[in-house]
Structure 1
Amino acid sequence: MTSATSLFSPVEADLALLTDNLKKLVGARHKILYAAAEHLFGAGGKRIRPAIVLLLARATLPDQGITSRHRRLAEITEMIHTASLVHDDVVDESATRRGVPTVHSLFDNRVAVLAGDFLFAQSSWYLANLDNLEVVKLLSRVIMDLAEGEIRQGLKHFDTTLSIEDYLEKSYYKTATLIANSAKAVGVLSEVSTATADNLYQFGRSLGLAYQVVDDILDFTGSSEVLGKPAGSDLRSGNLTAPALYAIEEVPYLKTLIEREFSEPEDFEQAIELIHASQGISRSRQLATDHVHHAIACLSELPPSDSRQALEDISEYVLRRLK
């Protein structure tokens, strides 16, 4: 299967520069935080979010090069994303992420929390220095949304009354808000029309939601080695995602297993079997497909270019992760 990073060829050199700049932006004043940042930015992540920002910058300004403000926006986007992951790993007590040790497992919780706070603060500083109030508002909203999503998830563990609409709203806060608002911010910096900027926001929103739904399907269908965490870990912790929510509509007994928090022997294994036997996974796949199709449609007003094609390919890649 094609890897995500192979789709970034129009901005491959830009992403290499981004990784170097991220380490410089953090600075070396605080040795332990710099060590944490070196670990994070050298961990070989896919860099999907900044790649989308850079590709959109090229797609909205096809006759110009990427501006320094677009580059800084891509760096800010990755800093915000990384900060949120550091905090998430502390909350979830995760020892590894995608097979790489987490900051709190390498150092300790105190350093991890401080590292996440430091990255949020750094991103806010560089955001303010873009001197564009609309972009500041868009990305500041993201930081608020990320916290909101984590709180909502924490308050809804084992809650079988959660609807698909509630799930998508939480998924927006946790995953799609950063892609959606950074995509719109690209449009603002490129001085596109209001309608085009809104289309870029909708592109990011739909792509982000599709990405999250696919992640949640893989939690049931992927191997622990591929996932970098035990399969079914979301369900076991009481985080109900699309496959489980759709299955509950079809198999009411699943609610009983979840509401008693898998307290009886073999409850969890039975719940997994019921979800696989239901239409939960196939309906979730269709939900992700619909969002990917909408994301691609939102790009239709951009002029044809290698960058626009790469954005369409990335959208389709999200679904290919399921194959």
Structure 2
Amino acid sequence: MPASASEEPVQQPLQLDALGPRGEFRARNRQVVPDVTGAPAAELSLVPPPFVSRAHSALRRAEPAPPDERVRRIAAAADLFATGTVAGLGVAEYRLLVSRVGGVPLTEVASAVDRIAERLRDIGTGLDRARPAGAVTDWRDPLVRSGRAAHTRRGDVFAVHAAGNHPGTHSLWPEALALGFRVAVRPSRREPFTPHRLVSALRLAGFGNDEIALLPTDHAGADAVLRGADLGLVYGGEDVVRKYGADPTVLLQGPGRSKVLLTADVDWRDHLDTIVDSVAGRGGTGCVNATAVLVEGDPTPLCEALAERFSALPSLPPEHPKAVLPVQPAAGARA
């Protein structure tokens, strides 16, 4: 739904500093981050490639804490992220900013914050289940000589080109931090508040400035963020797929193209709720939301039923408690 240009901004532009190895850094080059009406909500400091290079050098020199301590710190950061005041913002202020800037319904932002925190509190369980049974966590373990496999990270520095479509994507990359990687996060300029808050919370919980960094950059600096790392996680569209798709050191999270397929032997009436939720659930902005429904046979009855269900969804500002649809500026909505 398009937003009205007459609505008031949430607040004066918030200064979002880069978080480098020496702490907060306010760059001379800053980009305005607008809300859905086009009003400025924040100014994001953009660091140049030399700053990125120095940050990577510091990350590579840092020694990670023991595994149990890393997991404990991440759990502590989860509580700060979901309930505390971080970088001067309470959780209610933060959620409102994400909703107003990203256009994600406020209720979905609140739900995503809780899910991120829940995942981070239990991050050790996820790592244990990913490890092959019987494998040790260090190649220097004496059991390796007796034939045990070693399950350990491949490198020291991990880079993230973060997504801006939904806060929930930020529940994934902290696993690298739990494994002992030092992590550099390049936030999306579409919604930088979630990675800024999460990196700040991780530092408050005990991770050093030389273990986790937030490096907002322009496109030239984006390449530097990946070049300085051993492995990377990248979100993006077709242009990103073409650029990094053949790079074995990059885990690519490209555009979501989830589909719903209904074959002729299936009665779509039994699955209507699932189809509607696949398209519009959780704000409709996730990479797992369905982008098409494929029907074997005549699609008209299903299309009419879907149109009826979707037309009943209210068009409201994203911060409205009953909002369920994503909001974006009028030009983007028309496109």
**Larger RCO, structure (CA 8 Å, separation 6 or more):** 2
- Which TM-score applies when normalising by structure 1? 0.28
Larger radius of gyration: 2
Which structure shows the bigger proportion of residues in strand conformation? 2
